[in-house]
Amino acid sequence: TPRVFSGIKPSGGLTLGNYLGAIKRFVDWQEAGTHETIYCVVDLHAITVWQDPAELHAATREVAAGFIASGIDPTKSVLFNQSQVAAHAQLAWIFNCVARVGWMNRMTQFKDKAGSNAEKASLGLYAYPALMAADILVYHATHVPVGEDQKQHVELTRDIAQKFNHDYKVDFFPETEPVIEGPATRVMNLRDGTKKMSKSGESDMERINMTDDADTIAKKFKKAKTDPEPLPETLEGLEGRPEAKNLVDIYAGLSGMTDEQVIAEYSGAGWGRFKPALADLAVEKLAPISTEMARLMADPAEIDRILAHGAEQARVIANPILKRTYEIVGLVGS
């Protein structure tokens, strides 16, 4: 069976962006049953920027709890944290030797994250996309559901696979495609519709955290930035209105409707009507998840057990692919 792989960094808690852009799609793939689904809490990616060890530990469990609470079923999907499966880091080294410095220089996320002082960024942050390629290709995964911001990295994965196959004259690593689907592939900051919603934004009011309670969710949507115009009557009317478009996208993502359907339902509505409806919908969808996350996090040993079991399953798939890679490369002892 073909495989789906995706991952989320435990660098802080989960946001509504992670949920709508990624986790919800992961559940869809799991339920479709057409692919083997492998989902990973990518702790080795998190430490490319400084993480307090105790916080990393807690965040790894929180992301795992978020997966499970959202519907990832460890009996249907393989769920584990990256560092428990050594093959990721091992294949990443090989890919560090395949990928070119010039390719890494084109990665926009490195430029964003390193900021104006790239000299001071960790070497790991620079090599990050090669580890990501290893995450995917160590399972020979072909489909990678992600939000829009990860598109360039998944495309680089394809370049690395092609160069490996070409250099060693093999047809070993498959072509990988990013799967960027749904109405909310790029959820924006609630205070500035031109910036992505992220775990690390300055103000908590910019984002919805998956652990926010009902009052906080309602307050954040109420205070979300909008323009003075009511909702348009057609989809085209959202053009040039990033904040309005974002709230419509979020409503669509949470409800399972399309943007068109949301516009049809709220055509001409003022924000005084739309925002409370959006807040109610968000609370209805997210509150059960955050309750379940809290329940799961109260028993960390159980989460650790699930991750250890997933890691065992992951190794069974990854180790033979790594072994074959070592043979192809010509490493003695494999």
**Does 36 contact ligand TYM by CB under 6 A?**
no
245 is in an annotated binding site: no
Would you say 230 or 278 has its CB closer to ligand TYM?
278
How open is the CA angle 271-273-265, to the nearest 5 degrees? 100
**Does 144 contact ligand TYM by CB under 6 A?**
yes
Catalytic site residue from 76, 163, 199, 219: 199
Q: Residue 275 carries which side chain, given as an amino acid letter?
A: K
Contacts of 168 (CB under 8 A, 6+ apart): 328, 329
Q: How far is CA 290 from CA 161, 245, 262, 295, in A?
A: 38, 26, 25, 9
329 is in an annotated binding site: no
**Rounded Cα gap, residues 282 and 272, in angstroms:** 16
The yes-or-no answer on residue 169 being catalytic is: no
Contacts of 203 (CB under 8 A, 6+ apart): 191
**Does 9 contact ligand TYM by CB under 6 A?**
yes
**Rounded Cα gap, residues 295 and 171, in angstroms:** 46
Helix (H, G, I), strand (E, B) or coil at 147: coil
Judged by CB under 6 A, which of 51, 70, 81, 150 binds ligand TYM?
150
Number of residues in contact with ligand TYM, rule: CB under 6 A?
A: 26
**Does 248 contact ligand TYM by CB under 6 A?**
no
11 is in an annotated binding site: yes
End-to-end CA distance of the chain: give it in Å, rounded.
Answer: 26
Binding residues for L-tryptophan: 135
Catalytic amino acids?
113, 196, 199
Binding residues: 9-11, 17-18, 135, 147-149, 187, 196-200
Binding residues for ATP: 9-11, 17-18, 147-149, 187, 196-200
Q: Which residues contact ligand TYM by CB under 6 A?
A: 5-9, 17-18, 21-22, 42, 45, 132, 135-136, 144, 146-147, 149-150, 153, 185-187, 196-198
